[in-house]
Structure 1
Amino acid sequence: MDWVRDFYSTTGRWWGPAISGVGDRERGRAELLAQVCGAGPYRILELGAGFGNTAAALAERGHEVTAVEISDRAEQAQRYAGPRLRVLRDDFYTVELPGGYDVVCYFNGFGIGTDADQRRLLRRIAGEWLRPGGTALVDVMNPFVWAGWAGDRERREADPSRGYAYTLEERTDFDPVHSRYTDTWWQADRPDEAITQVGRCYSPADLILLLEGTGLALGQLRVDGEVLDRHADHAGHPALLRRAHEYLAVLQHGGGAP
């Protein structure tokens, strides 16, 4: 996982001015938390908090938030720090935190490292951070859509008026044996300086197996904003097969559905 700091620090420099504000996506996540958990306020831990903008949207709603980010993006997140928001630049595999959180969030990032790494993180959530009866909200990468992107290439032209100062190129691939995506980016004028992120994808069935023995159990699946009845037949499900590159897993401390 040595690539993590460099990848997110570099991409943070590339598109931070465009996506580091508190907008519809961030406030949508705060609203989603309210739908799943109730209005609160809560003590919330956000892992992989990036620019801190989702944490800021949560703090806007009166929650007390601790945001943990390993990359240089944490420095940008500090602009949102205040009485209800604490930002830590640290590794969530090693950071020491007091625990007792009502909610732990990990948006758009779960899957870095091995299955053993994911279980280690899930055990930390259940055993160290989440209070009994608490809830974790975790975005999980969907293998079916990532597999469909295998071999794709894309070029994104610079648009300084929108905060994109660099012309970038992207190449996506997928390993169907290990269910991993690779997502490689480079500045168009610097192809020899490409950087790659690698992530493990989990089908809902794989996720349920991964959770065994972690102290967390799957309560809900949300795909494209809709609650999925995971006990029903979903043959041909269009969102999971073709649209949603990630889905939200609502995890309950010690089992039990919300």
Structure 2
Amino acid sequence: MAMEWVEGFYSTTGKWWADAESDVSDRDRDRAASLSRWLGPERGRVLELGSGYGNTAAAIAQAGHEVIGVEISDRIDAASRHAAPDSPRFVQADFYGVELPGRFDAVCYFNGFGIGTDADQRRLLRRIASEWLTGNGVALIDVFNPFVWASWDGDEELLRARPEAGYRHELRQLNRFDPVNGRAVDTWWRTDEPQRGFTQDLRCYTPADLRLLLEGTGLRLSAVVVGDEELDLAKPHVSHQPLLTDRHEYLAVLRPDGS
């Protein structure tokens, strides 16, 4: 599936969930705390790719950092409530065409890496390394875990409306997995409009796959965090249950080559 689906999928589902999910939450504050862990205690200049409703960018700004968020979809309309003259600021654009001033101490991409082909991921990683990240900066990227997505192949779920919590539509979700190409195919539709499905098609990477992907991009894999656990990349992890069965994504900590 080409990347033409991206703006439509995230704009449509963004409208479904905006009332429920656009406030700053504990997840956003946890992301900001993780950033501070890897970036250090000093105020930094941060780029968030795929900033969605802007709530994670807001949490990072509340932690004292200067933040620019880039989002392609209409979810950015909800981000205006979090925007400030100094930080955070938001730009509606795609990652491959956007031009941003200066460099950043950190680049974050939460819950979205894997859109497009391997070549697309490498092109984005090269932009992070060559155009955006400082020489001693850090990139934090959530990576979809193929083992768990594969275990969900064929699973279909009904999510009932909960208007009191901001979820105004009854939805269905169908997960499928392509084991040859390592892709999760995740389709959503409103039960009152079953003929209008919206699908995201996401490349998944094991940590070993990610290391290969990073070759020649100017970035290296510095750490892998699964839940709250940082893995020792020099050791084997036979039967590591969180990666095999529990966590559908992990955090990859990337550093510039030579840093």
The corresponding residue for 1:35 is 37
The code of the aligned residue for 1:223 comes to V
Q: Tell me, yes or no, if the aligned pair for 1:219 and 1:255 is still in contact at 8 Å.
A: no
- Alignment partner of 1:225 out of 228, 237, 250: 228
Q: Tell me, yes or no, if the aligned pair for 2:39 and 2:105 is still in contact at 8 Å.
A: no
Q: Distance in 2 between matches of 1:169 and 1:64?
A: 38
The corresponding residue for 1:81 is 83
The code of the aligned residue for 1:38 comes to G
Q: Tell me, yes or no, if the aligned pair for 1:133 and 1:254 is still in contact at 8 Å.
A: no
Map 1:171-250; keep pairs closer than 5 Å: 171-250=174-253
Provide the TM-score with structure 1 as the length reference: 0.98
Map 1:52-131; keep pairs closer than 5 Å: 52-82=54-84, 83-131=86-134
Shift of 1:85: 1.1
* DSSP 3-state at the match of 2:201: strand
Q: Which digits, 9 at most, give the CA deviation of each residue in 1:90-136, with x for residues without a partner?
A: 11111001231000000000000000000000000000000111100
Q: Tell me, yes or no, if the aligned pair for 1:99 and 1:130 is still in contact at 8 Å.
A: no
Sequence identity percentage: 58
Shift of 1:34: 1.1
Alignment RMSD: 0.7
Shift of 1:40: 2.1
Q: Tell me, yes or no, if the aligned pair for 1:224 and 1:247 is still in contact at 8 Å.
A: yes
1:138 to 2:132 alignment: no
Provide the TM-score with structure 2 as the length reference: 0.98
Instruction: List structure 1 runs of 4+ shifted beyond 4 angstroms.
Output: none
Question: What is the aligned length?
Answer: 256
Q: Distance in 2 between matches of 1:235 and 1:99?
A: 43
Q: Distance in 2 between matches of 1:8 and 1:192?
A: 18
Q: Which digits, 9 at most, give the CA deviation of each residue in 1:207-255, with x for residues without a partner?
A: 0000000000010000012100112111100000000100000000124
Q: Tell me, yes or no, if the aligned pair for 1:48 and 1:70 is still in contact at 8 Å.
A: yes
For structure 2, list consecutive stretches of 5 or more residues without a partner in the other structure.
none
Q: Distance in 2 between matches of 1:26 and 1:103?
A: 16
Q: Which digits, 9 at most, give the CA deviation of each residue in 1:2-27, with x for residues without a partner?
A: 00000000001111111110010000
- Alignment partner of 1:3 out of 2, 5, 8: 5
The corresponding residue for 1:20 is 22
Q: Which digits, 9 at most, give the CA deviation of each residue in 1:58-83, with x for residues without a partner?
A: 00011000000000001111111112
Q: Distance in 2 between matches of 1:138 and 1:56?
A: 18
